Amino acid sequence: MSDFLLALFIMAVGISFGGAATYLYQGLSGQVAMLRFDGRSYLASLGNLAMSFLCGPFILMKLGWQGQQNGGGSLSVANLLIGSLVGFGWGFINGLLLLGAYFAVVG
């Protein structure tokens, strides 16, 4: 049971950091955060790639929620499930990287 709670904690760290980083990026840059790797220069491309990696779980969950709606105005369950499955899996990877870096620095 403790392993399951640890996995949930790691996912929560990854998703919450992704959400905070997404809104921080949107506030500072004045543009919508999207999954992209283009840029005006090589350095801008690397910055967009890093932003997409760190903010990706939250962006994917938002895309799954917004997704294409059915004709009656209801949400597509397939889009919701795929978006949340990929988002939580990606959040787990980001959480592992962030917590690993934190514990490596703190000791």
Global pTM value: 0.79
In contact, 13 and 95? CB cutoff 8 Å: yes
38: tokens are 């283009």
Residue 33: its pLDDT value, please?
A: 83
According to the model, what pLDDT value does residue 32 have? 84
| Contacts with 7 (C-beta within 8 Å, 6 or more apart), sequence order | 92
pLDDT at 30: 87
Tell me what pLDDT residue 82 has.
83
pLDDT for residue 70:
54
Domain boundaries defined on the chain: 2-106
Low-confidence ranges of the chain (pLDDT < 70): 64, 66-75
